[in-house]
Structure 1
Amino acid sequence: MSKYNPLWSRVGKSKEVSLQLSFEEIEEVLGFPVDHSFLKYKKELSAYGWSVQNISMKQKTVLFHRQKG
């Protein structure tokens, strides 16, 4: 079980094509701040039919996108 499963579950339940969450919103879901390990674990999101499209360090947001198919 990944420490990011609560976030993947939250994103996977979205009905939207794209979903943007702030680092603060992600921290609320996870209970800890986003760190560099996020880059390693983000590939797990494909199991939920989603991918990370963009990470903005300036705006402190992550843009998730539903995969086609």
Structure 2
Amino acid sequence: MSKYHTLWVYIQGSDRQQLTLTFDEIAQIAKVPLDYSFLKYKKELLEFGYEVEKISMKNQTVIFIKKEKD
């Protein structure tokens, strides 16, 4: 299980089209700080029906969007 599994479950449970979380909120939910490895792990989110739309270093936020079904 990946270190961001708890975050993926949280996002999937939101059932929203778009969800914006701050880096601090992500750290609280995932119980690990957001780090560079997030870029590698974010691919796992596709299995939960979502994807990362944008990471803003300036605003310290990540925007997640529900993946369109094929």
TM-score interval for Structure 1 and Structure 2 normalised by the shorter chain: over 0.9
Q: Does 1:19 align with 2:37?
A: no
> What is the deviation of 1:14?
1.1
The amino acid of 1:25's aligned partner reads E
Residue deviations 1:11-66 (CA, integer Å, cap 9, x gap): 01112100000001001111221000000000000000000000000000000000
* Divergent runs of 4+, >4 A: none
Q: How far, CA to CA, are the matches of 2:19 and 2:4 in structure 1?
A: 16
State the TM-score, normalized to the length of structure 1: 0.96
Task: State how many pairs are aligned.
Answer: 69
Query: TM-score under structure 2 normalisation?
Result: 0.95
Q: Any stretches of 5+ residues in structure 1 without a counterpart?
A: none
Unaligned runs of 5+ residues in structure 2 are: none
Q: Percent identity?
A: 46
- 8 Å contact kept, 2:7–2:29: yes
SS of alignment partner, residue 38 of structure 2 = helix
